[in-house]
Each structure stands twice: as structure tokens, then as C-alpha cells.
Chain A
């Protein structure tokens, strides 16, 4: 499973403007509409689904990373996007720390394996503190994409 195959590059946000969880997710979902990954009229319904999942347990799984995700009928294949926040977002994360890196996943309703594989891939990647550091200190959006391509090209190799 390669994340970059599903990555909506145009929707990547180099620096999130907002500081709270809901606004951050909203900013990312809107970026997905601007890059034509999801229709504008679905924004509200996608937001509801994502926030509903957050209420059952934060997707801020620790280490300054959050992975809001849901299944939704408005996509026909898995869509992944990433955003960075310098100041950090209050995600009510498991470790209580602010989140600096957000991966957002949307997958179609009937999908079985791909969604879980993507979740697993992200969980594996972010266990590597070098990956987290490189992503959060990237100097622009292109560098973020390059890092993701680099780690995806060598699924078992870490960055150092």
C-alpha cells in the first residue's frame, strides 16, 4: 500500500491557519473541494461524519499527529490529504499534546481493505520520529510531498 497513490497533492496544506480541531478539519475538507476531490455540496455531510467519529474518540493518536477519517458515499476511491500546523492544534489527543500533523482519510462506503491499510500505513510512518520531524519542519508543500514519496518508495526503510 502506497499512500502517495491516494494522496490529493493539490489539497495538501502547508500551514493551517486555524488552531482548533473542527476548523482544522474544515479547512482540509474545503481544500479537498477546491481540488475537486469532493463536491462542494457534500462538505457539511463529510464534516458531520468526521466529527461524529472524533466524538467517539480523538483520532489524535499521539506524537503530535491526528488522523481524522471516515467512510463517505461522496468518494469512489480512497482520498488522503495532509496538513501541517506550526503552532499546533488542540485535538484532545490521547497524549494531551498539540497536533502538528494531520492526515485526513475519506474512503467509499463499500471499501474493505484499503481504508484499514491506509490507517496502518500512517500509524507505522508516524512511529518514526524522524518522519514526524521532517514533515513538520518541511520548508514548503513540495518538500512534504517529497518526504512522503521518499518513505513510500522504501516502505521498510526509515529516513535516517
Chain B
């Protein structure tokens, strides 16, 4: 497929990296010459330095030949213009990243008349949704859903008292087949491995599991000896994410506190919220901390626009009063170090946006991708077995999957089946495969018609 990406920030760059890595022809338009130079150095893509809302740049980036345009600059206005122009150029598929609620809400004028956009991706509700899932899933460090097949991909930090701590992977096989879950990866320190039967789950491991949505409540007690619903939540930063989170959480949690240093923003937030308490001040001030910790705090969420403030506030909260911390960062380079400084969950809205856009690009056998970002950029991909592909009609044990890959589940007629050796994938069946980046090409080839 030929894909044009407009905007090479974290979102555009990671999309380009992923899609060109999958073998698609990718061109990029980026207005900042310094960034476009970097792109040319790092990726094998055509990079045009210019403004994506001008026909000249679009034409230079071969807009007449592309199948798809992804408008992912930081500006809603530019992204809208890009899609409108792409429509006039006759591009089949157009996806825009838009943040302003006036464009993205259900009854917006754009939703009703979006003939020139096929899909709107708004990073804010997607990010809020991810954070809510983390909060309602005790012990979770990572959440992604394969919506089509109702299969969840979750990361859990294993506490020392978790019932599965100290168990070998093979001891979980039976329970896995009854309860429909499979541990596909274990991250220990910086290393991530696909576990074999003899491997033992150790305290502090970060395990990644594919499981049927229905089995989540039965899996939670395996990774948590005790857990109760989160009741006390402190959010730092009355950003769009902060306010929408407070708004969703004030319906379920007993105490929700939003801390905002800017007086006007604090007042604005207070007017939008009903049950949540808004405190005006810094999350590191003693007085504010006193007020925020009258009730026990289950989660502290650093959601301000300032990265450094978020990190500092989270560190302090973790040390002094919060059971768990969630830090929101836009800086992909920080992600690998957070684990080692005690952050429980890292949420990167830009990378979540990348994953979400990838879920919506049907390409060859790929239906959706859930990526892990960090030192190892492993991913779980849902694929359909194309008729005439290597996997179709064969017993799984007869298919040679490359090193660094594992079939996580097979989906037949909408039901999740654990992938044992004698399981046959028929053409049209779907499977979720977890693999390290170096195995990607081979895995995807197995599902593609020869």
C-alpha cells in the first residue's frame, strides 16, 4: 500500500516507522526542515520538507498515487485541510488526528458531514479511556484491546504475594486453557522474553497476557493477592485529559481531587466538575498535599502539560502517600527509564494515538496492532489467515513460526481458542500473534496469501 503521512512528530514518525517496516511505501511531509532531515537519516521513506496543507508539497509527496493519507500534525486546522485536499485529489482513505471537541464530539457538524475524512482519531478520549482501564484493572501496567475479537492484551506487575509468583509457566497451562489466557511475554528488568514452559514467574516481573474479556475477573486474583476498587484518586493538571479523567472518575470513585497551579484553569475545571474537589496550587506544596491526602490515595496521576512537573509530582506522591502512580508523558525517550524510578504506569498519549491509528488501517492480513513501546518494541498483532497462506488449513505444530514469536490465541467463529499444536487455523480464522520486532516480517508473511 502507498501511504502519505503529514506531520512527522512522535505520532507521524512512529507510524512511518511501523508502516515502512511492514513493507508499505511511505512518504512524509514535514514543515520543520530539521525534523525532516532526521527522518531521512533514520527511515527509508520519501520525506518532503514543506507544508502539508499546500498542493505543491502534497504533489511532491506523490499524493496522486497514494491509497491513504494520515493527517497527524499538531494542528487540527492543518489536518482538516490536508484531508479536504486529499479528497479532491481522490485519495481513497483519509484519517485525521483531531483534538478539538467541537470537531470530534458525536453531534459535531464535522461528524455529520465528514465526507472528506474517513476516520477521526482524537487522542484525548483514547488516552482517558486507557487510564480508566488501568485504574479499574488492579496491578495493570499496560492495556490494549482487540475490539473485533473481544480479546484483551494486558501487562501486570507481579507482586511478591501474587499466587502465580514462583510458578512455572507450564503450571499455568491447564488453568490457561480453562480460563482462556496465555502469558506471551515476561519483562524482567530491561529484558523481554517469550517464556518457555520451564520459565518461572518472579516477583516484580512485568507479565504480558492475552485473555478473553470474560476471563479478566478470574485472572485478576492470580496476579493480585488482594485488591479493591480504587477509591481515592488525585489528578495533577487541569488539562483536557485531567478534566475528562476527573469527570469520568467522579462517577465511580469516592474521592477525586484535581490539583491545578493556574488559578483561571482551576476555576474553569471547578465549573465543569460536580463531585470532584479542585485545589489551586502545586502538587509538590506541603499544604496542597495535606488537603489532597485527607483520604487514602490509591492513584496519583501526573497529567499536567509539564513533563518534568509530572515526574517530580509522581515521585513525591509515590514516596509519601499514593499506592500507585500514573505518569502521562509525551516524550517517548523517557519511557524506558520510568520503571526503574518507581513509576507504576506510563501513559504516552502520542504512542496510544499511534496504536489507535494502526488499529484502523486494514492492510493485508493485519486487523490490528498493539505495540509495546520501550527498550523492546514488541507487538501483538491480530491477523486473518488469508486463503492460500502458509498457516491456512495447517496444524499449528506444522507451521514454523520464527524465533521470537508466539501465537497468543486463535479466534474461530468469534470464540477464543488457546493455540495448542493440533489446532488448525482455517482460512478466514483470526489469530493474535505476539512477536519481537525482528520476527515481524516472517510472521506477517505466514498469514499472507502466497
Contact = CB atoms under 8 A, between A and B. Distances in A.
Is this pair of chains taken from one and the same complex?
yes
A94 B178 CA distance: 19
A53 B212 CA distance: 18
Contact of B226 (A53, A67, A71, A96): A96
Contacts of B226: 94-96
B153 to A, nearest CB: 17
By size class, the interface of chain A is: 20 to 34
B350 to A, nearest CB: 34
A98 interface: no
Contacts of B228: 62, 95-96
Please classify the interface of chain B as helix (H, G, I), strand (E, B), loop, or mixed, using the class held by over half of its residues.
helix
Interface string A45-76: 00000001101111111100001011100000
Given A53-B175, A94-B224, A116-B180, A59 B214 contact: no
B171 A119 contact: no
A67 B167 CA distance: 22
A71 B218 contact: no
Given A56-B167, A94-B226, A112 B217 contact: no
A57 B177 contact: no
21 contacts: A52-B175, A56-B163, A56-B171, A57-B220, A58-B163, A61-B218, A61-B220, A61-B221, A62-B217, A62-B228, A70-B178, A71-B174, A93-B221, A94-B227, A95-B227, A112-B417, A116-B212, A116-B415, A116-B416, A119-B179, A123-B218
Given A71-B178, A107-B178, A116-B180, 12 more contacts: A56-B171, A57-B219, A57-B222, A60-B221, A67-B218, A94-B227, A95-B228, A96-B228, A112-B415, A112-B417, A116-B179, A119-B218
A88 B417 CA distance: 35
Contact of A69 (B138, B172, B178): B178
Given A94-B224, A94-B226, A119-B218, A55 B163 contact: yes
Interface string B149-168: 00000000000000110010
B415 A113 contact: yes
B180 to A, nearest CB: 5
Please classify the interface of chain A as helix (H, G, I), strand (E, B), loop, or mixed, using the class held by over half of its residues.
mixed
Contact of A58 (B167, B215, B221): B221
Contacts of A100: none
A129 B402 CA distance: 48
Contact of B221 (A69, A94, A120, A123): A94
Contacts of B178: 53, 69-71, 107, 115
Contacts of A55: 163
Nearest to A54: B163
Given A95-B226, A115-B178, A56 B215 contact: no
A117 interface: yes
Nearest to A66: B221
A12 B47 CA distance: 69
By size class, the interface of chain B is: 20 to 34
A119 B172 contact: no
A94 B215 contact: no
Contact of A61 (B175, B177, B212, B217): B217
Interface in B114-140: 138
A57 B221 contact: yes
Given A94-B221, A95-B227, A123 B214 contact: yes
Interface string B340-365: 00000000000000000000000000
A56 B227 contact: no
B341 to A, nearest CB: 29
B419 to A, nearest CB: 12
A139 B219 CA distance: 33
Contact of B214 (A62, A70, A96, A117): A117
A94 B214 contact: no
A58 B228 CA distance: 14
Contacts of A69: 178, 218
A109 to B, nearest CB: 9
